[in-house]
Amino acid sequence: MAAAWMLPRAFFAPGRGSRMLQPKNCMPWVQCRCAIQIAASRLDEFVRAEISLLARQSSCPLRPKTLHEMVRLPGSQVGRLVHEELPVRFARRIKQIERIKAWQSVPELVSLHAMHTRSFSEVRMADPSDLEVYPQVIFKIRHRHKTIGHLFAEALRRVSSEALRLCQLQPGELADDESQLDHESVERWAETFLQSRVWTEMLMSHYVICAEDTQVAAANEREFGQTKIGIIDWECDPWEICQLVVTQLEEGPCPAEFAMENQSGAIRLCYAPRYLFFILEELLSNSARATAETSSAFPIKIAICDDDRQVTIRISDRGGGMPSEAMDELWSGAFTTSMNTPDSLETTFDPELEQRWRSKEIQRWQNPISGRGMGLRLCRLYARYLGGALQVINMPGLGLDVYLHLTRMDHI
């Protein structure tokens, strides 16, 4: 069956061997954009060819923009960055999935492959100059990708399981030429996938909010959010965010008592408030669950301090800690702190709490750092991307001390 498609010029080429992309500084849809009748199967061929081309586009590893760079990008350049970066990263993740020779026998990898292929097509056929429609396309893609954490966590467990132990990893351009699917190659494969996921999630979120802020500013004929640029707030208050998370968790599925300490007074730094909220929500949820499971009478302690270089948040619980041998697996595979953890631990952000905040730093989004067994690993990846670090100190039989370091922008 044929259908009418609005295709950018990049999809038209004499043959498979031709270069199908225009130079980065040339927007193909500005030169030519037309509706044609094309069979769905033919469109699939175009998409697969472009995925292969973009996945090979650069022999060097992609380097995401740092927080320091993102905060200085004009709004118009954020849209261009989105349109240049997302297709390449989606294409590479698709090819990463295909490197598992048995990927089609893993339902979660099949779902991830289909999800990224659909998102790739949508972003390639969207017009970034359309400032009304294009943000909606990115919003829809980001919403679709909120399940990646859970799907990938289950896929990683299956790939690492005994049933697929003898599978092989396809040699390819996106990683070393390993052939045996051993533990180390699986971990490298997973880390590459998740790092890419962290960057695209933050980039999409940043762009959507920048677009919303631009529309609000235009409607009100005034500058919107003077301390805020997209997901970034120059005057982020980490202590306030700690309090918001605690308020939400005190009446959550694992009610816990919290003791909070701040001897530094008012603390401000340039950061991404919603992602700090997500990280703290995941870390404190883990502590609350461990405390509830051990029926500990001790409160979870939260302390914050700062200096000219960084802000540090410490979370201490008496949830029993972990066996020493479990620490070896803490940052690898799909590690979970509880065998009784449900598949979904996300909470819906309370509208009353949202109204208490200054504006809209946290929306009612599913936490992108969730994913059974992926939480700690993703927390560390987000903290690293934002220029900080996450450390876990284990006291077997007693509890855990978690240190979240937030680096000030001047020292990133």
> So where are the chain's domains?
66-218, 233-411
Joined together, the tokens standing for residue 289 give: 């669950």
Between these two residues, 42 and 387, which has the higher pLDDT value? 387
pLDDT at 364 over 80: no
pTM of the model: 0.79
Between these two residues, 411 and 48, which has the higher pLDDT value? 48
Please identify which residue in the block is written with the tokens 């041998």: 325
Phi, psi of 315 (to 5 degrees): -120, 120
Which uninterrupted H or E stretch holds 37? Answer: strand 33-39
Mean pLDDT of 344-372: 46
Joined together, the tokens standing for residue 2 give: 């044929």
Pick from 57-71, 328-342, 368-382: least confident? 328-342
Residue 311 CB coordination number (10 Å): 23
Which CATH homologous superfamily contains domain 233-411?
Answer: Histidine kinase-like ATPase, C-terminal domain (3.30.565.10)
- Burial of 61 by CB count in 10 Å (0-12 exposed, 13-18 middle, 19+ buried)? exposed
pLDDT for residue 342: 38
pLDDT for residue 346: 37
Asked whether the beta carbons of 292 and 305 are under 8 A apart, the reply is no
pLDDT at 151 over 70: yes
Tens digits of per-residue pLDDT, 291-327?
Answer: 999 888 899 999 999 999 999 999 999 999 988 888 7
Please give the CATH topology (third level) of the domain spanning 66-218: Butyryl-CoA Dehydrogenase, subunit A; domain 3 (1.20.140)
Between these two residues, 210 and 239, which has the higher pLDDT value? 239
3-state class of 159 per DSSP? helix
Mean pLDDT of 56-71: 71
